[in-house]
Structure 1
């Protein structure tokens, strides 16, 4: 029996190695499929006919649907797409919704201040929040206020964590190219190692994690959307205060029409 034990241990090691290789291959396939989506979208925009304005909104929803679409991803559309959600909500109620959903929230101005802070703890708040919410599979939302240009401040804040980090983290295949392979672990400083070691992050939590962006205004015009929004899964929240369309009121029969009908020997019914 003792002679067999080393063989069993070796077989177990090889089995685990084969599983890791298979998993990596599966991630590579999913990553490649998401890259193909990017290429398809670029070709679609390039081949768009002159004067044709195709909506770049992926979904138009009510406020009550935010949880199902953004967090739970009921139906799997957002997860299949791969991009992080960018929410256009002129009512601003999405900000309150996520606040009461226990999501971490930053606004663009706050991130700009934190990124240049000389206090080490303050400067690392975004990183710590990202790690915490990836660990527990919770959403982290960033309020862009009413200007899409504020994304530049957010990008700078991410890049203060690591050069090029914003592009890495908003890549369409980020789940399979960065999160699940645990490539973010090189961001964990010695001070954070006890709270965020590699084995504290499981695949389920990383898959549930959501980085979302909220703009408290309507979506910009098509040209701006085509330039700035392709990296994001654009969602429009309907304004709850907008009036419903009014059905046209049936007009009363015109008296002159009645006279014409009688003159022709016809009787109007009704």
Structure 2
């Protein structure tokens, strides 16, 4: 069961979010209203699927997991559960996210199994004790910083 859950990186220092922001990821800052627009989330998700990249939702120090779920639902009804359960990756279900205006780089034939297999979803939080619902739905990963100097 744990292996099927996406990680919730618990890092009160914020260093994990900073690290992920500067990697080759599709990064969504959930505190930024522009990042939380349904169309922006849809394109971030599609791009991560298409190019085999991680999609990172940075929840910062606020409990914005319910807001992320609402915005996923605004993209497409049932999307939050489909994504969290990984069902979106089965039987080309992600193709339902495509729109005629997306352009040729997002044509159905542009999605490759090898890249889809590289897709990852991360939630990062600075909240030391996330709500129980998040801990049940996601796989909590606690970041431990070294004590003292290096």
Structure 2 length-normalised TM: 0.87
One of 78, 81, 96 as aligned partner of 1:167? 81
Match of 1:237 among 143, 146, 149: 143
Q: Which residue of 2 aligns with 1:135?
A: 50
Q: Deviations over 1:248-269 (max 9, x none)?
A: xxxxxxxxxxxxxxxxxxxxxx
Contact preservation (8 Å) 1:180, 1:206: no
The ranges of structure 1 where at least 4 consecutive aligned residues each deviate by more than 3 angstroms after the TM superposition are 111-114
1:106 and 1:187, CA in 2 relative to 1: closer, same or farther beyond 3 A? same
User: How many equivalent residue pairs?
Assistant: 149
Rg larger for: 1
* Unaligned stretches of 5+ residues in structure 1: 1-36, 38-77, 116-122, 245-270
Q: TM-score, normalising length from structure 1?
A: 0.51
| Contact residue 30 and residue 36 of structure 2 kept, 8 A | no
Aligned-residue RMSD, C-alpha: 2.1
| Higher relative contact order (CA closer than 8 Å, sequence separation 6+) | 2
Unaligned runs of 5+ in 2: none
SS at match of 1:124: helix
User: Residue in 2 aligned with 1:202?
Assistant: 112
Q: Are the counterparts in 1 of residues 56 and 123 from structure 2 also a CA contact under 8 Å?
A: yes
C-alpha separation in 2, matches of 1:111 and 1:84: 24
Q: Distance in 1 between matches of 2:98 and 2:7?
A: 25
Corresponding residue for residue 156 of structure 1 = 70
Q: Larger % of helix: which?
A: 1
- Which residue, out of 176, 182, 185, partners 2:92? 182
CA distance in 2 between partners of 1:237 and 1:161 (Å): 31
Shift of 1:180: 3.8
Q: Distance in 2 between matches of 1:105 and 1:159?
A: 19
